[in-house]
Amino acid sequence: MLNYAELKPKGKEFQAATSLKVEEFEALVPAFKKAYEEAYVNTTTAEGEVRRRKAGGGVKGRLANIEDKLLFILVYVKTYPLQTMHGLQFGLSQPQTNEWIQRLLPVLREAMQAKGMVPERDGGQVAAHATLNIEGADLLLDGLERPRQRPKDAQQQTACYSGKSKSHCDKNLVIVHEHTQQVIYLSSTMPGHVHDKKMADDAHITYPDEATLTQDTGFQGYQPANVLVYQPQKNSKASL
């Protein structure tokens, strides 16, 4: 069964399971602990009932410490398994797993917000993102496509079909910090036929002055004010 103490020495496996390096995980623990204690103040059980004994008393549960709680919810978010399968990894039944997921997801979000790890969803607020003031504004802009089941409705098929990937998909714009790899911005989800440049235009993204922006040819013609844009040139077809 998974637990923090046993997984910590296995760096590659730890990162594969959580998306975080051990040191990144440990940096998140204090914010996660603070958010958890503020949410539940140690007065309720995992089931939300009023606690009858002092917190920490009685038989130790499977997620006895804060590191195991954080590991549990990060593995769930990273892999998104069936709750029954996720519970087997941590020695929990499916009902217990569901209770812990509902309990810990809001705590994780609160902790990540406190650490500035949650992407901005409003394009107009990107310029004010705290990371850009600390690390500088060298950014990567990209359109990410996620395959989806082919719709039965003909109009929906057309809307979801991407000429770029030749498949049915949904897509989002993301802005990633070039040096830290942190996701700074995540757009709303759009159907696959929408062009990358149109998504960027419609998002009305603001950038810090003198930011640098690396983008691919799907954003041809996208040139925000006061931003230095790097874009590869399309290869011309060689004549025979």
The C-alpha atoms of residue 76 and residue 166 are separated, in whole angstroms, by 31
| Amino acid residing at 58 | G
Query: So what's the pLDDT on residue 59?
Result: 45
Instruction: Place 95 in a pLDDT band, splitting at 50, 70 and 90.
Output: very high
Same domain, 91 and 140: no
With respect to residue 128, please indicate whether it lies within any of the assigned structural domains.
yes
pLDDT at 236: 57
Q: How far is CA 222 from CA 62, 175, 192, 231, in A?
A: 51, 14, 19, 10
Q: Report the domain count for the chain.
A: 2
Whether 23 is covered by a domain: the verdict is yes
Q: Could you give the percent of the chain with pLDDT greater than 70?
A: 88
4-30: per-residue pLDDT in tens?
A: 999 999 999 999 999 899 999 999 999
> How far is 107 from 32, CA to CA, in rounded Å?
7
Coil, strand, or helix at residue 11?
A: helix
Indicate whether 35 pLDDT > 80: yes
Q: Is residue 157 very low, low, confident or very high in pLDDT (cuts 50, 70, 90)?
A: confident
Among 89, 114, 139, identify where a domain stops. 114
Q: What's the rounded Cα separation, in Å, for the pair 96 and 83?
A: 9
In which band, very low, low, confident or very high, does the pLDDT at 60 lie, cut at 50, 70 and 90? low
The residue-averaged pLDDT of 160-176 equals: 90
Domain-ending residue, one of 71, 93, 114: 114
pTM assigned to the model? 0.67
Alpha-carbon span 109 to 31, nearest angstrom: 10
Vertex 175, ends 170 and 176: CA angle to 5°? 120
| Per-chain mean pLDDT for the chain | 87
- Residue 143 domain-assigned? yes
Provide, rounded to the nearest whole percent, the portion of the chain with pLDDT above 90.
59
Q: What is the pLDDT of residues 61-72, one digit of tens each?
A: 689 899 999 999
The predicted pLDDT at position 239 comes to: 47
- Higher-confidence residue: 55 or 142? 142
Dist. CA 147–CA 149, nearest whole Å? 7
The one-letter code for the residue type at 231 is Q
User: CA 163, CA 235: separation in Å to the nearest integer?
Assistant: 18
**Residue 235 forms part of a structural domain:** no
Residue 162 domain boundaries: 123-230
